Amino acid sequence: MSIRLDPRRVGTLKQLAAEANVRPGDLVRQWVEERLDAARHGVTTPAAAADLASRLAELVERVAALEASTGSTAAVEPPEPEKGEAVEAEGKPVEAEPPSSEAKPRRGTRQRVSAKPAAERVALHHEMIAVLAERGPMTAADLAAAVAERGRYTPPRSGKPLDAAMISQRVSNPTYRSRFTRNQGRIGLAEAAE
């Protein structure tokens, strides 16, 4: 599933995700799951609606503060109901009309904002070389455990834990093949990689 967002909103989303130390997609998924859980459990009590309204107001303030800090001139305010539009009736929210398809003019210049990783990424093959230089030839499983034990390598995007298959794939990859040797099921360093 993919969604389209205004570039200013994407920048704000990236900043919020960086503050929460998660990827933007994970943050959006978390928000959607919270809304789905609330809808499934019938969150329509006045107390729940008031809590939701206060959380929404808090988020609006945070977004406004973030946009102000990035130099954006657009102010974020909660949407006002249009004339004759019902916002809430008998404790049940009414769905808003879809936004008009008219294009809004853009103000100012767009600023690129990216969620920077908390620490410098370490490439898997560099960690493998460091471990093999310290400990000598090892099986793929032992090498995966040793790299994970060092804690410097984090798998990108997929979040899949490091295993022997990933180590074996890296050793077999034509880009890195010249740096490693295989002998009797053990992976070692090629002479040039040391």
Per-residue model confidence as pLDDT tens digits over 161-188: 788 888 888 888 888 888 899 888 899 9
Q: How many CB atoms lie within 10 A of CB 67?
A: 19
Per-residue model confidence as pLDDT tens digits over 10-33: 888 888 888 888 888 888 888 888
- Arithmetic mean of pLDDT over the chain: 75
pLDDT band at 142 (very low <50, low <70, confident <90, very high): very high
Q: For residue 112, what pLDDT is reported?
A: 58
Per-residue model confidence as pLDDT tens digits over 53-112: 788 888 888 888 888 877 655 444 555 555 554 444 444 555 555 555 555 556 655 555
Q: For residue 77, what pLDDT is reported?
A: 53
Per-residue model confidence as pLDDT tens digits over 115-130: 555 567 788 888 889 9
Q: Which residue ranges make up each domain of the chain?
A: 7-88, 124-193
Contact assessment for residue 76 and residue 40, using Cβ atoms and an 8 Å cutoff: no
In angstroms, how far is the first alpha carbon of the chain from the final one? 45
CATH 1.10.357, domain 124-193, yes or no = no
Q: How far apart are CA 139 and CA 24, in angstroms?
A: 37
Q: How far apart are CA 180 and CA 176, in angstroms?
A: 7
Q: For residue 43, what pLDDT is reported?
A: 58
Cut 0.85: pTM above it: no
